[in-house]
């Protein structure tokens, strides 16, 4: 999963910049070009990551099994993500 982790590092700062911009932007200050510029900076990296991550996740099936450490880690990670927490999957391994 090292490749996926590297890909996360490549787009996370752009995603965080977008979040910061959106949260601070008032309606009357809306600037689609500014938002588009931010997205253009990381969008390609994010798109490639999401596409490639599918194969990575499918390959994890060979490690699957009720009660395995990996299943438990994914379950806990998923719960944290659903609650809006900013977490790293490696924290749960």
Enumerate the domain spans of the chain.
2-92
d(CA 84, CA 12): 15
Quote the CA–CA distance of 20 and 14 in Å, as a whole number: 10
Give the pTM. Answer: 0.61
pLDDT per residue as tens digits for the range 30-58? 999 999 999 999 999 999 999 998 888 88
Q: What does the block give as tokens for 15?
A: 């995603």
pLDDT at 66 over 60: no
């Amino acid at each position: 999963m090292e490749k996926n982790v590297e890909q996360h590092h490549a787009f996370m700062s752009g995603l965080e910049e977008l979040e910061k911009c959106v949260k601070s932007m008032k309606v009357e200050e809306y600037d689609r070009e500014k938002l588009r510029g931010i997205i253009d900076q990381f969008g390609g990296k994010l798109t490639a990551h999401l596409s490639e991550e599918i194969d990575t996740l499918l390959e994890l099936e060979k490690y699957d099994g009720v009660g395995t450490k990996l299943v438990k880690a994914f379950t806990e990670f998923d719960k944290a993500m659903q609650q809006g927490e900013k977490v790293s999957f490696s924290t749960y391994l």
